[in-house]
């Protein structure tokens, strides 16, 4: 708490100074250093509303939302939105994701964007635990809010509106082993502890990876706050491999280092696209459950185009846009009105039961749970 | 202006050039390193604006941090250093003392590990040392049991040797090639055996470079992070893993405290090494390198046969640790989802180049940016590094401190520098009512130069220290300015070190990721490693294809740097 109020006090001075600095430039982001490298992205930054030109909507998001090698919704969304609205959509993809905007707020610098796409409950908890002021505020007058599947709403304060959701599950390889019998993943969390699954599971670091974090939360849900550390001690005993990120672990999985990896339940959609054999991409929902991780969007409290941001959010919730986002981001739609293509529905698997921690459960617990896990698992 | 006054002005500039470059170096360091880092380290010692030791004390009294994390980190760094020396020193011996086809090219290519993104190394290592990897297939082909190497401390140590043995090899080769053959001849003519001549004459001239290789390897592997998690796993977490996860969780006081402890260890080690380096004042003189011999001996004696067998065995190990992983990456880039040959990943790069949106990463601009930034880094880091080398080989009060401070960019966590650049430069500093932000190409080049110039200094300083001070004194008594003496007398004598340092500078720039992505202004100033990271997806193919382009472009530029640098030195 003491640290936070210090940062806030330090930040206040920064804000007024910043306003003074920006006064002459019409609120545009400018770089004082002559870089000689003006790119299109910098040319179309935030808040050019003056002079009757069409406004620019600046949207912060994570890199793969606009620039994944397979497919990403970003380019399609920009084109569709700009063709209908008299506005320019500029994507911002800071490397540290939403932390970049939290950091700006902590240092008393304006957010520089209108809304953020790609929030989850865990991020909201982190924001609310570290910032005294509001980083995001609820959008006013959304007409399609009612279309969102109620169970996916993860923000009790109504700032973040879900636009898609995914389930974290195990992906396993039936062909793994000596070839006498096919490999079958266990059906329960307890099954993972059996000796036949020693060294058989690849997971990810929950302190840096979304899938790793969801899997950890799923174990806490299954084993309880008091039981999950013991469960992980047994998993460690059974040689579970917790690697740095999803790419590391999926690479090891693809090379046959282990027959199971923590991943998304939409794994087969990718596998079908690149012509891989489905027996090597089987989905297992442990305890018949998948951990749901809905993704949301929210306008920044200091957005310079809040109305345009709200229009964009409504646009994101349209049935046809929802279907495009789902297919291109390889996730499930967040609304009840979206219609998915058959091919996608065939390979994207949904769990019998979705589990997820509410914002209230995560608040004041998330970092403690994760820290305790890290200390347990990294003890030599 | 008359010709005489022009000459006077030129001379005045010449006289002050060293001071000028030193001052500029200080400014660049202050803006791009010390100030940004201070904004982060402040979190470790300040609470409510008041000084506190609480966060650091909390780390230092935590048994978990001290034993499970910091001690373990030091232990793996120590093993990694031993492995890097074991793998790097024979290479230096081969490069410096033998003549064989492709020696120059091979030596240029030893820089490659330096620029490789960790995900590429992880892909190559899994394909080489994994359960179904090349090593195990070779073992089972000759009827040996498989080895389980991945996700162990050994895997981390080998991967660290992959990154750092080339560093040891390059630094030591440069020193070995500048050993004056006449000193050995003198010893031999006085009756010393070859072994004795090596121990008493050659080795003392190599030790500073071996020391620098070992020290840097320890410091780098002490701060290692992505490769530890990719090939070892979280159960082998190092201190930098926790710095990263605490930063990500916005627990800045704890993150900064861990980073302060980490830096303190690295700085102390650097200081110890620099004291040692300063105490080495062995005889040396004009470059008159030792003769080279053929790898295959002309007459077979038991001794020469043993040497040849040793070299062959070493080549086998090098093949396994360096060649097979790199070859595996190239193979991965042309392998499809069904396991067959495909050019789809390269087709993806071509398509992205042709049709990619402005906010997406395109391969060609990434390549051009990397090359431009590398050239810029070279131009800035070499003068900075040489100047610091001159300053730190003089004797004056406070020299030790300057020496250590100038090496600090090596000792501070990359995560801390990245966060500091974000806070200090990207968000901007308020100066007289105007917010000054420093981003874009110039800032990236300057940040690369900060990370690169200590390599120049460390390659050049030991050679400077060996120069006969009377050379410069004679030149100056004959009327040469300090700069003139440096350029005309000293630089030609330490040229191998300058070229070695320049190569590192280029490699550091091409391989740099953390500062680049923070200072970049959108997709337009992204570099090759950033493109590799951005092309990672469900399929690793596109990223590996971009990684192979990175290898290709880097190899080509290194062949140019080394050839050109070598020629220039001979002029």
In B394-433, the residues whose Cβ lies within 8 Å of chain A are 419, 422-423, 427-428, 430, 433
Cα dihedral: B475, B480, B481, B487 (round 10): -70
- Contact (CB<8Å) B357/A78: yes
Residues in chain A within 8 Å Cβ distance of B229? 205, 243-245, 248
Which band of pLDDT confidence, cut at 50, 70 and 90, is reported for residue B1? low
Distance between CA B335 and CA A274 in Å, rounded? 11
Give how far B160 is from chain A: nearest CA, Å.
Answer: 16
CA distance B325 to chain A (A): 14
Q: Looking at CA atoms only, how far is residue B284 from chain A in angstroms?
A: 45
- Report the residue of chain B nearest A41, measured CA to CA: B522
Cross-strand partners of B335: B341
Which of B132, B233, B534 is the best residue to mutate to test the A interface, defined by the most A CB atoms within 10 Å of its own CB?
A: B233
Closest CA to B347 of B531, B570, B545: B545
Q: Give contacts of B 153-172 with A, CB under 8 A.
A: none
Question: B512-567, pLDDT tens digit by residue?
Answer: 999 999 999 888 889 999 999 989 877 788 999 999 999 999 999 888 877 777 65
Q: What is the pLDDT of residue A18?
A: 34
Helix (H, G, I), strand (E, B) or coil at A157: coil
Q: B445 touching A, CB under 8 A?
A: no
Q: Is the pLDDT of residue B493 over 90?
A: no
- Out of B151, B422, B434, name the one closest to residue A21 (CB): B434
| pLDDT (0 to 100) of residue B467 | 78
Q: For B465-484, what is the mean pLDDT?
A: 83
A70, B537 contact by CB (below 8 A): yes
Chain B positions touching A247 (Cβ under 8 A) are 119, 536, 540
Both tokens assigned to A114: 């209108």
Helices H / strands E in chain A, number of each: 15, 13
- Give the max Cα distance, chain A: 75
Nearest beta carbon to residue A243 from set B43, B49, B230:
B230
User: How confident is the model at residue B281, as a pLDDT?
Assistant: 57
CA distance A328 to A296: 16
Q: What is the mean pLDDT of chain B?
A: 90
Closest residue in B to A233 (Cα–Cα)? B235
Q: What is the 3-state secondary structure (H, E, C) of B207-239?
A: HHHHHHHHHHHHHHHHCCCHHHHHHCCHHHCCH
Q: Is the pLDDT of residue B492 over 90?
A: no
pLDDT one-digit tens code per residue, B3-34: 788 888 888 887 788 889 999 999 999 999 99
Contact B453, B384 (CB under 8 A): yes
Q: What is the pLDDT of residue A51?
A: 52
Nearest to B441 among A10, A36, A95 (CB): A36
Structure confidence at residue B48 (pLDDT): 86
Tell the burial category of B103 from Cβ atoms under 10 Å away from its Cβ (0-12, 13-18, 19+): middle
A-chain CB neighbours of B535 within 8 Å are 69
Q: Report phi then psi at A117, rounded to 5.
A: -115, 120
Whether residues B440 and A37 touch (CB distance < 8 A) is answered with yes
SS (H, E, C) B160-211: HHHHHHHHHHHHHHHHHHCCCHHHHHHHHHCCCCHHHHHHHHHHHHHHHHHH
d(CA B72, CA B69): 5
Residue in chain A closest to B119 (alpha carbons) equals A248
Distances (CA, A) of B388 to A308, B393, B399, B424, B457: 54, 8, 11, 25, 6
d(CA B363, CA B550): 10
A67–B523 CB contact, under 8 Å: yes
Is 50 exceeded by the pLDDT of residue B470? Answer: yes
Q: CB-CB: which of B133, B250, B439 is closest to A31?
A: B439
Interhelix angle for B441-466 vs B3-29, to 10°? 100
Helical spans, DSSP H, in B342-398 = 344-355, 363-393
How far is B331 from A241, CA to CA, in rounded Å?
26
Assign B146 a pLDDT band (cuts: 50, 70, 90). Answer: very high
Q: Report the run of H or E that residue A241 belongs to, with start and end.
A: strand A241-243
Alpha-carbon distance B298 to B252, whole Å? 64
For B383-398, b where at least 16 C-beta lie within 10 A, e where not — what string? bbbbbbbbbbbeeeee
What integer pLDDT is reported at residue A4 of this predicted model?
Answer: 40
Q: A219 CA to chain B: closest CA distance, Å? A: 17
State which residue of chain A sits closest to B235, comparing Cα positions: A378
Q: For A2-22+53-166+294-347, which CATH superfamily applies? A: Periplasmic binding protein-like II (3.40.190.10)
Report the b/e string of B157-186 with b at 16+ CB within 10 A: bbbbbbbbbbbbbbbbbbbbbbbbeebbee
Whether B39 is covered by a domain: the verdict is yes
Instruction: Look at residue B46 and give its three-state secondary structure.
Output: strand
Instruction: Give the number of other CB atoms < 10 A from CB of residue B433.
Output: 10
Structure tokens belonging to residue A271:
């596998």
CB-CB neighbors (< 8 A) of A272 in chain B: none
Contact in structure between A28 and A45 (CB atoms under 8 Å): yes
Q: For residues B518 and B444, give the distance between their C-alpha atoms in angstroms, rounded to a whole number.
A: 9
How confident is the model at residue B283, as a pLDDT? 45
B366 Cβ neighbours under 8 A, 6+ residues apart: B526, B527, B528, B530, B531, B546
- Our CA-based measurement puts residue B542 at a distance from the nearest CA of chain A, in whole angstroms, of 7
Q: Residues 6 or more apart from B10 whose CB is under 8 A from it? A: none
Residue B475 pLDDT grade (very low, low, confident, very high; cuts 50, 70, 90):
confident
Q: Over 60: is that where the pLDDT of B501 sits?
A: yes
Query: What mean pLDDT is predicted for residues B144-165?
Result: 96
> What would you report as the CA-atom Rg of chain B, rounded to the nearest whole angstrom?
25
Task: Determine if residue B432 is left, alpha or beta; phi over 0 gives left, psi from -120 to 50 gives alpha, anything else beta.
Answer: left
CA distance A314 to chain B (A): 23
Among the CATH numbers 1.10.150.120, 1.10.101.10, 3.40.50.11270, 3.40.190.10, which is that of A167-292+353-378? 3.40.190.10
| Best to test chain B binding among A23, A236, A248 (most B CBs inside 10 Å) | A248
Work out whether the CA dihedral B281, B282, B287, B293 comes out positive or negative. negative
> Taking CB atoms and an 8 Å limit, are A257 and B430 in contact across chains?
no
* Nearest of A353, A218, A253 to residue B132 by alpha carbon: A253
Give B486→chain A minimum CA distance, Å. Answer: 33
Instruction: Tell me the chain B residues in contact with residue A201 when contact means C-beta distances shorter than 8 Å.
Output: none
Helix or strand run (H / E) with residue A171: strand A167-172
What is the rounded CA–CA span in Å between residue A161 and residue B469?
Answer: 72
Is the Cβ pair A255, B226 closer than 8 Å?
no
CA B522 to chain A, closest CA, distance in angstroms equals 6
The half-sphere exposure of A173 on its side-chain side, counting CA atoms within 13 A, is 23
- The token duo for B221 is 């592997």
Q: Which residue of A has its CA nearest to B543?
A: A69
Report the gap between the CA of A237 and the closest CA in chain B (Å): 11
A21 chain-B contacts, CB cut-off 8 A: 428, 430, 433-435
Q: Do B523 and A274 touch (CB under 8 A)?
A: no
Query: Is the confidence at residue B275, as pLDDT, over 90?
Result: no
| Among B119, B126, B359, beta carbon nearest to A257 | B126
Q: How confident is the model at residue B568 (pLDDT cuts 50, 70, 90)?
A: low
List CB contacts (< 8 A) between A67 and chain B. Answer: 359-361, 523, 534
Q: Is B514 within the bounds of a domain?
A: yes
Q: Say whether residue B63 is in contact with chain A using an 8 A CB cutoff.
A: no
Question: Within an 8 Å CB–CB cutoff, is residue B340 touching chain A?
Answer: no
Closest by CA to A222, choosing from A251, A254, A192, is: A192
* Chain B residues inside the 8 Å CB shell of A34: 442
Q: Which of A55, A58, A38 is nearest to A46 (CA)?
A: A58
Asked if residue B95 belongs to a domain, the reply is: yes
Q: Do the domains spanning A2-22+53-166+294-347 and A167-292+353-378 agree at the CATH topology level?
A: yes
* pLDDT at B46 > cutoff 60: yes
Q: How many whole angstroms separate alpha carbon B36 and alpha carbon B29?
A: 10
The reported pLDDT for the residue numbered A9 is 40
Which residues in chain B (86-125) have CB-CB distances under 8 A to chain A? 119, 122-123
Query: What's the pLDDT tens digit per position in B406-458?
Result: 889 999 999 999 999 999 999 988 888 888 888 899 999 999 999 999 999 98
Q: What is the least distance, in Å, from the CA of A156 to any CA of chain B?
A: 22
The pLDDT assigned to B482 comes to: 83
Spell out which residues of chain A touch residue B46, defining contact as CB-CB under 8 Å: 6
Contacts of B64 in chain A (CB under 8 A): 375, 379
- Are the beta carbons of A104 and B233 separated by less than 8 Å? no
B5 in a domain, yes or no?
Answer: no
pLDDT at B287: 57
Averaged pLDDT, B224-234: 95
Residue B284 pLDDT more than 60?
no
Range of the domain at B385: 14-570
In whole angstroms, what is the distance from residue B526 CA to residue A95 CA?
12
Query: How far is the C-alpha of A267 from the C-alpha of A265, rounded, in Å?
Result: 5
Cβ distance A378 to B357 less than 8 Å, yes or no, reads: no
Q: Chain A: nearest CA to B560, how far in angstroms?
A: 26
- Beta strands B98-99; A353-355: pairing state: unpaired
Residue ranges of chain A with per-residue pLDDT less than 70: 1-52, 179
For residue B207, being part of any structural domain is answered with yes
User: Which residues in chain B are contacts of A267 at CB distance < 8 A?
Assistant: 538
| Token code pair at residue B125 | 């290592």
3-state secondary structure of A338: coil
What mean pLDDT do residues B244-257 have?
Answer: 95
Decide if B565 contacts B502 (C-beta within 8 A): yes
Instruction: Decide the pairing of beta strands B293-294 and B98-99.
Output: parallel
């Amino acid at each position: 708490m003491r640290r936070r109020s210090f940062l806030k006090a330090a930040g206040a001075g920064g804000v007024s100074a910043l306003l003074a600095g920006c006064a002459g430039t019409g609120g545009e982001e400018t770089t004082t250093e002559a870089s000689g490298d003006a790119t299109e992205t910098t040319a179309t930054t935030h808040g050019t509303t003056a002079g009757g030109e069409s406004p620019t909507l600046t949207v912060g998001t994570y890199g793969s939302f606009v620039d994944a090698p397979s497919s990403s919704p970003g380019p399609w969304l920009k084109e569709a939105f700009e063709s209908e609205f008299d506005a320019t959509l500029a994507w911002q993809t800071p490397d540290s994701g939403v932390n970049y905007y939290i950091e700006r707020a902590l240092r008393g610098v304006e957010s520089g964007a209108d809304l953020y796409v790609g929030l989850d409950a865990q991020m909201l908890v982190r924001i609310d635990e570290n910032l005294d002021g509001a980083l995001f505020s609820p959008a006013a007058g959304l007409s399609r809010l009612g279309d969102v599947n109620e169970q996916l709403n993860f923000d009790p304060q109504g700032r973040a509106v879900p636009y898609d959701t995914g389930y974290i599950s195990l992906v396993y390889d039936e062909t793994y082993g000596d070839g006498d019998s096919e490999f079958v993943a266990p059906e329960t969390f307890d099954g993972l502890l059996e000796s036949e699954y020693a060294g058989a599971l690849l997971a990810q670091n929950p302190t840096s990876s979304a899938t790793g974090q969801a899997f950890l939360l799923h174990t806490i849900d299954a084993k309880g706050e008091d039981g999950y550390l013991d469960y992980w001690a047994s998993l460690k005993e059974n040689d579970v491999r917790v690697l740095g990120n999803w790419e590391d672990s999926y690479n090891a999985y693809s090379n046959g280092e282990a027959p199971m990896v923590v991943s998304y339940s939409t794994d087969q959609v990718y596998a079908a696209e690149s012509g891989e054999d489905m027996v090597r991409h089987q989905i297992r929902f442990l305890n018949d459950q998948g951990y749901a991780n809905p993704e949301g969007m929210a306008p920044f409290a200091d957005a310079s185009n809040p109305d345009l941001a709200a229009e964009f959010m409504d646009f994101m919730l349209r049935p046809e846009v929802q279907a495009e986002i789902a297919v291109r981001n390889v996730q499930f739609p967040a609304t009840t009105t979206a219609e998915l293509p058959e091919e996608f529905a065939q390979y994207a698997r949904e769990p019998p039961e979705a589990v997820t921690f509410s914002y209230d459960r995560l608040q004041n617990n998330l970092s403690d749970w994760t820290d305790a896990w890290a200390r347990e698992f990294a003890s030599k | 202006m008359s010709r005489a006054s022009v000459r006077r002005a030129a001379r005045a500039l010449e006289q002050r050039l060293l001071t000028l470059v030193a001052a500029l170096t200080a400014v660049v360091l202050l803006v791009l390193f010390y100030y940004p880092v201070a904004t982060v380290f402040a979190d470790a010692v300040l609470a409510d604006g008041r000084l506190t030791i609480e966060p650091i004390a909390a780390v230092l009294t935590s048994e978990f941090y001290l034993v499970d994390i910091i001690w373990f980190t030091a232990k793996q760094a120590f093993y990694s250093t031993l492995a890097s020396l074991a793998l790097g020193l024979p290479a230096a011996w081969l490069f410096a003392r033998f003549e064989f086809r492709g020696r120059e090219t091979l030596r240029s290519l030893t820089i490659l590990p330096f620029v490789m993104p960790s995900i590429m190394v992880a892909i190559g290592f899994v394909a080489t040392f994994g359960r179904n990897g090349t090593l195990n297939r070779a073992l089972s082909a000759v009827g040996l049991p498989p080895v389980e190497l991945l996700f162990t401390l050994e895997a981390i140590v080998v991967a660290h040797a992959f990154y750092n043995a080339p560093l040891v090899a390059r630094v030591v080769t440069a020193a070995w090639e500048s050993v004056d053959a006449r000193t050995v001849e003198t010893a031999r003519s006085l009756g010393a055996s070859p072994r004795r001549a090596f121990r008493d004459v050659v080795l003392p001239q190599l030790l500073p470079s071996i020391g620098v290789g070992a020290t840097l390897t320890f410091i780098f592997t002490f701060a290692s992070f992505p490769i530890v998690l990719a090939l070892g796993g979280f159960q082998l977490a190092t201190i930098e893993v926790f710095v990263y996860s605490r930063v990500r969780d916005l627990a800045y006081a704890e993150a900064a405290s861990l980073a302060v402890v980490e830096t303190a260890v690295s700085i102390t080690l650097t200081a110890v090494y620099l004291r040692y380096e300063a105490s080495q004042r062995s005889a040396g003189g004009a470059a008159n390198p030792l003769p080279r011999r053929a790898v295959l001996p002309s007459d077979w004696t038991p001794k020469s046969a043993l040497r040849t067998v040793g070299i062959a065995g070493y080549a086998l190990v090098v093949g396994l640790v360096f060649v097979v992983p790199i070859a595996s990456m190239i193979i991965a880039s042309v392998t499809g989802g069904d396991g067959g040959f495909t050019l789809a990943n390269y087709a993806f790069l071509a398509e992205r180049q042709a049709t990619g949106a402005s906010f997406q990463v395109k391969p060609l601009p990434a390549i051009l940016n990397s090359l431009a930034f590398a050239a810029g880094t070279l131009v800035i880091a070499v003068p900075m590094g040489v100047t610091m080398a001159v300053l730190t080989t003089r004797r004056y009060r406070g020299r030790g401190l300057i020496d250590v401070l100038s090496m600090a960019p090596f000792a501070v966590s990359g995560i801390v520098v990245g966060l500091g650049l974000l806070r200090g430069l990207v968000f901007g500093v308020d100066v007289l009512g105007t917010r000054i932000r420093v981003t874009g190409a110039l800032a990236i080049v300057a940040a690369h130069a900060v990370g690169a110039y200590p390599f120049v200094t460390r390659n050049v300083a030991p050679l400077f220290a060996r120069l006969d001070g009377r050379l410069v004194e004679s030149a100056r008594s004959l009327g040469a300015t300090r700069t003139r003496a440096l350029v005309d007398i000293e630089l030609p004598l330490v040229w191998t070190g300058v070229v070695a340092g320049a190569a590192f500078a280029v490699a550091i720039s091409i391989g740099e990721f953390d500062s680049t992505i923070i200072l970049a202004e959108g997709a337009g100033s992204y570099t090759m490693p950033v493109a590799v990271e951005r092309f990672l997806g469900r399929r690793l193919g596109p990223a590996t294809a971009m990684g192979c382009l990175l290898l290709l472009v880097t190899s080509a530029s290194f062949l140019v740097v080394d050839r050109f640098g070598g020629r220039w030195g001979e002029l």
